[in-house]
Copies of this chain bind each other. A is one copy, B any other.
Amino acid sequence: MSTDTEWIAVDWGTSNLRAWAVGASGEPVATFESGEGMGALSPNDFEPTLLNLIGDHLPEIGSVPVICCGMVGAAQGWAEAPYAAAPCEAPGAKQARRVTAKDPRLDVYILPGVKQMQPADVMRGEETQIAGYIAQNPDFDGILCLPGTHTKWVHISAKEIVSFRTFMTGELFALLSVHSVIQHSVDTEGWDDDAFAAAIADAMSRPQTLASDLFSLRAGMLLHGTGAEASKARLSGLLLGLELAGARPYWLGQKVVLIGSETLSRLYQSALLAQGADASIADGSALTLAGLTAAYLSLKETPE
């Protein structure tokens, strides 16, 4: 039983759950990870799942704020936290959905995601990483790109999310690598930088031929003996090139900061630099906790 905990930070996505018990110093006193993502849970499962994970770090008397972000706030999550509408600041605790927990030690806040009505788009979780980046870089004006299964391109100005677009490039890559006729053509852990760069250029100049360029990966293996390393890198490059062509209004002439896994961020950076874009990589590992911390601190602000 610990009494050092001032509040609990929770990043609850579809597939994973991360939590931090944060002390009075503002630093985590304990960190937790679990595969019990929101996708596998029913609404009644969330509280016991969280208690099982962090219960030893709750106070004996009184309650602590529990600040949650991610898919935990979706309609199928613990409780729905309706989206804030862009343009807007990343939502803080005062926009959060309060949840009355059965355990009186938990004072639960679920942060909203952000929506955009035209073109229709949504995020849940990324807005908290964005809030963390803005907390650390309050004067940032430019583009944040969060590569992943559903890559987000986000225009930030004056601490606001001005607009954003989601490209499901990572999901297309996974679907084609695992389930499609080209799966055997790209079955490798290897890579080919030249094939990747050439495919980026091809897709950016001719995005409309994607579906035939994909089939050519199989035909290239059959007819030219093209290796899986080159084919996999070309698949990745074709899809990323298509995305970069579509996201051009976001990155052209803008300062782009990449927030994501190191491997993916480097791929995006190399492709953007080859286009002459200004692309740098942020250390994204602590941004979610930083964003949750910003939301926690907003709880303490004097009401206006």
Contact = CB atoms under 8 A, between A and B. Distances in A.
A236 to B, nearest CB: 13
A165 B208 CA distance: 13
Given A175-B180, A246-B209, A214 B168 contact: yes
Interface stretch (A114-122, A139-147, A276-284): A114-122
A222 B122 contact: yes
A195 interface: no
Given A120-B220, A219-B166, A239 B211 contact: yes
A211 B172 contact: yes
Interface string A155-177: 00000000001111101100110
B207 A208 contact: yes
B212 A165 contact: yes
A223 B120 contact: yes
Contact of A121 (B166, B215, B239, B248): B215
A169 B242 CA distance: 16
Most buried by B among A121, A172, A210, A216: A210
Contacts of A119: 212, 216, 219
A224 interface: yes
B120 A210 contact: no
B115 A215 contact: no
Given A208-B246, A210-B246, A215 B181 contact: no
A255 interface: no
Nearest to A151: B211
Interface residues of A, number: 46
Interface string A233-244: 000000100110
Given A150-B181, A168-B180, A211 B122 contact: no
Nearest to A119: B216
Contact of A243 (B211, B220, B223): B211
A14 to B, nearest CB: 9
A154 to B, nearest CB: 13
Contacts of A248: 208
A116 to B, nearest CB: 8
B150 A215 contact: yes
A179 B181 contact: no
Given A115-B223, A122-B223, A242-B210, A215 B175 contact: no
11 contacts: A83-B223, A116-B219, A119-B216, A120-B222, A167-B211, A175-B179, A207-B208, A208-B242, A208-B248, A212-B246, A212-B247
Given A168-B211, A207-B207, A211-B243, 13 more contacts: A83-B223, A117-B224, A121-B216, A122-B218, A122-B222, A150-B215, A165-B212, A166-B212, A168-B214, A169-B211, A204-B208, A208-B246, A211-B246
